[in-house]
Amino acid sequence: MTKTKSNVMTRRALLTAFAATTLTAAPVYAKVPGFLRGAGDVRRLRMYSSRTGESIDTIYWIEGEYIKEALKEINYFMRDWRENKTLDMDPRNFDIVAAAHNLLETNEPYLLLSGYRTARTNAMLRRRSRRVAKKSYHIRGQAADLRLKSRTVSQMAKAALATRAGGVGKYYRSNFVHMDSGPVRTWKA
């Protein structure tokens, strides 16, 4: 069968139709674990860190179940590299990061600038910059600061906001986006 414009549904049309049904179903599923716009049935994180020289490409969630070993691997990757300390991070933050990545339609891995931070690291960063929150979600293991070479801060922030799942900070001068699993809100610095 030859594909013509009349019998081919575009990806955008399919996503629009999905979004419309999702919005209708959202009140029913809003509290169901794992429900997140753009997340999918298989969730994968692809990131690298120029600070540690490490990279990660792992599937951490399949059909409603988190994979414990993959979560441990992500927790280690996103550790406070200054103190080499880990924390069991909030997997909902991984979901937001993965969903935003899917919505951006890129295979480029994120550059992780900051994941988990100890209170001591956060205090040190606060002394250097007034833009570091005293009660940062990084300390709780609920945040990531990310960059993509192929996408702008605005594009990344729009994708993160489209998940309707947490906080999104736009840092234009430093060229990164903060994504966290706290309350839905946005800001720019």
Average pLDDT value for residue range 152-174: 96
pLDDT of residue 90: 97
Residue 130, number of CB atoms within 10 A of its CB: 8
Q: What SS3 class is residue 152?
A: coil
Q: What percent of the chain has pLDDT over 70?
A: 79
Give the β-pairing of 55-62 and 42-48. antiparallel
Q: Which CATH class is domain 37-188?
A: alpha beta
pLDDT of residue 26: 36
Give the residue-averaged pLDDT of 77-103.
Answer: 96
Contact 102, 38 (CB under 8 A): yes
In the predicted model, what is the mean pLDDT of residues 72-92? 97
- Cα–Cα distance for residue pair 103/12, rounded to 1 Å: 11
Tell me the C-alpha distance between 18 and 12, whole Å: 10
What would the two tokens of residue 113 be? 């600038």
Distances (CA, A) of 148 to 34, 84, 186: 25, 25, 19
Average pLDDT, the chain: 84
| Across 35-39, 71-75, 112-116, 175-179, least confident range | 35-39
Neighbours of 153 (CB within 10 A): 19
Residue 3, pLDDT above cutoff 80? no
Per domain, the residue ranges of the chain are 37-188
Average pLDDT on 81-98 reads 96
Tell me if residue 74 falls in helix, strand or coil. helix
State the DSSP string of 94-111: HHHHHHHHHHHT--PPEE
Q: What is the pLDDT of residue 126?
A: 87
